[in-house]
Amino acid sequence: MLTLYYAHNTCALASHIALEQAGADYDAVRVSFARQEQRSSEYLRINPKGRVPALVTERGILTETPAILQFVAQTFPRAALAALDDPFAMARLNAFNSYLCSTVHVAHAHRMRGTRWADEPAALEAMKRKVPQSVGECFELIEREFFVGPWVLGERYTVSDMYLFTLANWLEADGVEPARFPKVATHRERMRADPVVKRVMAAEAT
């Protein structure tokens, strides 16, 4: 039995979709960012970083989306969520996921989480102003260089599709027009129409 701690409209959605797609036996526990539950002593015992996602397993607790996604893919091999038997293909998958977590998500985070990196209100406003440009440049690179098609890494539907979809959902709020990226935009619509994705998004919205 696995327990996923998630918050609505966060990157935890990717791990949530992966567990559902894998057919995993799991509980999903919502953490309210509005009530600052991620900073409660109770939650900090689960994830001292005060962030989501966190996945409680029988052997211990895992954090960080790229790590959880590979773990889910490896734990449920029948779901075929990654090219598990091919280290080079796995490295390509991990390189893409690592770019999402360390560059794309970080660019986005400067809109709402600027206090991680500066204190002055004027600096926080300066960061917010640059988000449309910095996030836009990330998605230009994804569209032009990394998106293989029909799925992001090629013929196979993988956990990277779930992760890209999760971050692409934030484009409008980040002031970036999705139509600039036809492959990403089409992929996002395809993902939104997927029954598993729909089920997870409905569960998170309630």
Find, among 73, 139, 129, 75, the residue nearest to 105 by Cα. 139
Q: At its nearest, how many Å lie between a second copy and the CB of residue 79? A: 14
**Three-state secondary structure string covering 122-189:** HHHHHHHHHHHHHHHHHHHHHHHHHCCCCECCECCCCHHHHHHHHHHCCCCCCCCCHHHCHHHHHHHH
Of 110 and 187, nearer to a second copy (C-beta) is: 110
From 32, 126, 177, 180, residue interacting with a second copy (rule: CB under 8 A): 126
CA distance 127 to 125: 5
Determine if 66 is a binding residue for a second copy (CB under 8 A): yes
Of 21 and 97, nearer to a second copy (C-beta) is: 97
From 141, 148, 185, 201, residue interacting with a second copy (rule: CB under 8 A): 141
Determine if 74 is a binding residue for a second copy (CB under 8 A): yes
The sign of the dihedral angle between the CA atoms of 17, 22, 23, 28 is negative
Of 76 and 190, nearer to a second copy (C-beta) is: 76
Size of the site for a second copy (CB under 8 A): 48
Determine if 108 is a binding residue for a second copy (CB under 8 A): no
Q: At its nearest, how many Å lie between a second copy and the CB of residue 21? A: 17
CA distance 113 to 127: 10
The two three-digit tokens of residue 130, written as one number? 């640059």
Determine if 134 is a binding residue for a second copy (CB under 8 A): yes
CA distance 23 to 104: 28
Q: Residue 57: beta bridge partners?
A: 60
Determine if 25 is a binding residue for a second copy (CB under 8 A): no
From 39, 49, 192, 198, residue interacting with a second copy (rule: CB under 8 A): 49
Residues 6+ apart with CB under 8 A from 199: 20
Determine if 120 is a binding residue for a second copy (CB under 8 A): yes
Determine if 166 is a binding residue for a second copy (CB under 8 A): no
**Is 20 in contact with 196 (CB distance < 8 Å)?**
yes
Of 92 and 197, nearer to a second copy (C-beta) is: 92
**Residues interacting with a second copy, by CB under 8 A?**
48-49, 57, 59-60, 62-68, 70-71, 74-75, 87-88, 90-95, 98-99, 101-103, 105-107, 110, 116-120, 122-123, 126-127, 129-130, 134, 141, 144-145
